[in-house]
Chains A and B, each alone.
Chain A
């Protein structure tokens, strides 16, 4: 073992297998996709069966937008790949890991080595040039003294379903977390890494995923980063002591310490918002039971977010709604059940409608004629990006905000006095960084609205530039100020009733 060895060997280019990054600092050495089977395997190994990793319906409502690959799984893939290089991890002393963006199931990801400095090596899991996970390895003498235990932690077997502790109770968390799978499972899944570091440490790394995803913060968690020092392994007690170091309600952040099974370090996790739902109990107190009577609304994208809030407001106000969904059948049917139970059968129905497909057939069975159309269909808005503008993102936004909207309006049987809501965005004026494609598509949609209204007699289209609204898509952590969906849409619905704009007029004042 040569402790003085130049760590840049870890990042050295193997010209037979690696693709040079055009002379740039990253050297790609491996690539893969994580599959659904991979998710279940890692969930079994680690005990982290948080549905954001396994259930597509649940994952849609998280910031990842799809089943998120366990961050720690990407770390173990990284280390397993490195362990194939002789002695690459032999004097590993510590690692520092940051989870910057989600990797999702089916996404192409690449392992890239970066230039080492200060005796360390940096490896990134990247996709389309964007870093998802970064692992910094430090080499040298390992810590010889373990931190003293903080008392007698309560044994905590791996829960079968994620816990959902209240934020306030996280401050006092202190336990001995027990592993979910035997060591032999790690010898099998990560053979090279287990030989290099010992299966106890590999299992301990996997256990960090469960600490965050199953225990604290648990159900509504995002693993942000961790550091781990390599220690002597205590064979007598599998698992690790875990404890809360700090809780910060401003950022919804929990910092925890851990020690055991040959590792000690710190974990930082965020407590994300639960799925955002507009409470019908609250809505019913805000709305006069007849103020929207006579409306038969088609709410495109009505299974969540602004669409769900709008449907609930209309029905609570005496109207009827047909809500459409692309994939959220459970959410859509749940909304209808709740509304029909409270306000009477037939007040709300749901239908599957994939924007982009020919709408005529769907509209024929939809139960119109609709007096009001609310178009909330949207692809994922916030997309990690490395460039100012992405043509593929622009195409995706246009497909929904322009093409599909046009096809729907053009396919509707004419009805004089019909009112259409096309939610534009303040992003058209304010142009937040890396949202150029989104702002351009919304601006194009506004122009389309003006021209549609000019060409279709009796049609009124309002395209309010809405502010950032708290929805599953926008409920990021640390939290960013956002308006309330019910408040914003109630104001709009009432403006629809109160104001009949002259022909050819498009309303696109902010927030109206």
Chain B
């Protein structure tokens, strides 16, 4: 699974939660850039990512990623640790 695939998956999940057809995400995309990506949406995204990849974030990891790129890296690292 590549980094781009992870970013694509994040975008797919967000699009589903926000009822959009497609959400394009760049490495430097932050939550404020995406309409509707609030704390509840972020919670649902975290839970969906955990279920999809079979990983679990610690509490301090949930808010830590400063952008989509950092989130994708975190997911990749946690998958590699499995």
Q: Do A and B actually bind?
A: yes
A411 at the interface (CB under 8 A from B): no
Partner of A433, one of B32, B46, B47: B32
Closest A residue to B62 using CB positions: A250
What is the CA–CA distance of A409 and B59 in the complex, to the nearest angstrom?
A: 44
Question: Could you say which interface size class chain A belongs to?
Answer: 10 to 19
Asked if B40 is at the interface of the complex by the 8 Å CB criterion, the answer is yes
**What DSSP secondary structure best describes chain B's contact surface?**
helix
Instruction: Name the interface residues of A210-260: CB closer than 8 Å to any CB of B.
Output: 224, 248, 250-251, 253
Which of chain B's residues has its CB closest to A117's CB? Answer: B19
On whether the beta carbons of A250 and B59 are closer than 8 Å, the reply is yes
Residues of A near any B CB (own CB < 8 A): 100, 224, 248, 250-251, 253, 433, 476, 478, 480-481
Chain B min CB distance to A511 (Å): 20
A332 to chain B, nearest CB (A): 31
Residues of B within 8 A of A433 (CB): 32
19 intermolecular pairs with C-beta atoms under 8 Å apart: A100-B40, A224-B40, A248-B47, A250-B57, A250-B59, A250-B62, A251-B43, A251-B46, A251-B47, A253-B43, A433-B32, A476-B39, A478-B39, A478-B40, A478-B42, A478-B43, A480-B39, A480-B63, A481-B63
Chain B residues whose CB sits within 8 angstroms of the CB of A250 once the complex forms: 57, 59, 62
Residues on A with beta carbons closer than 8 Å to the beta carbon of B40: 100, 224, 478
A372 to chain B, nearest CB (A): 36
- The answer for the CA separation of A161 and B80 in the assembled complex, in Å, is 49
Give 1 or 0 for each of B41-76: 1 = CB within 8 Å of chain A CB: 011001100000000010100110000000000000
| Separation of A481 and B63 alpha carbons in the complex (Å) | 9
B43: A residues at CB distance < 8 A: 251, 253, 478
- Cβ of B24 to closest chain A Cβ, rounded Å: 19
Q: A250-B57, A480-B63 are in contact. List 5 more A-B contacts (CB 8 A).
A: A100-B40, A224-B40, A251-B47, A253-B43, A480-B39
Contacts of A478 in B (CB 8 A): 39-40, 42-43
Q: Report the Cα distance A433→B46, complex, angstroms.
A: 21
Note all chain B residues with C-beta closer than 8 A to A251.
Answer: 43, 46-47
Please give me the residue from chain A that is nearest to B47 by CB atom. Answer: A248
In the complex, A480→B40 CA distance in Å? 11
Chain B residues near A248 (CB, 8 Å)? 47
**B15 CB, min distance to chain A CBs, angstroms:** 13
**A224 contacts across to B, CB distance below 8 A:** 40
Please give the distance in Å from A414's CB to the nearest CB on chain B.
Answer: 46
Q: Which residues on A sit within 8 Å (CB–CB) of B46?
A: 251
* Closest Cβ neighbor of B38 among chain A residues: A100
Q: For B47, what are the chain A residues with a Cβ–Cβ distance below 8 Å?
A: 248, 251
Chain B residue, CB-CB nearest to A222: B40
Bound form: Cα–Cα A476–B39 in Å: 9
**Chain B residues numbered 1-57 whose CB sits less than 8 Å from any CB in chain A:** 32, 39-40, 42-43, 46-47, 57
Report B-chain residues with C-beta under 8 Å of the C-beta of A481: 63
Contacts of A476 in B (CB 8 A): 39
CA distance A481 to B40 in the complex (A): 15
Most chain A beta carbons < 10 A, residue from B42, B47, B63: B47
Q: How far is the CB of B53 from chain A (nearest CB, A)?
A: 17
Question: Whole-angstrom distance between the alpha carbons of A433 and B32 in the complex?
Answer: 7
Q: How far is the CA of A248 from the CA of B62 in the complex (A)?
A: 13
For the complex, what is the distance from the CA of A390 to the CA of B63, rounded to whole Å? 28
CB neighbours (8 Å) of A480 from chain B are: 39, 63
Q: Report the Cα distance A253→B62, complex, angstroms.
A: 14
Cβ distance A200 to chain B, nearest Cβ, rounded Å: 30
Nearest CB in chain B to that of A255: its residue:
B47
In the assembly, what is the distance between CA of A433 and CA of B47, in Å? 24
Least CB distance from A100 to B in Å reads 7
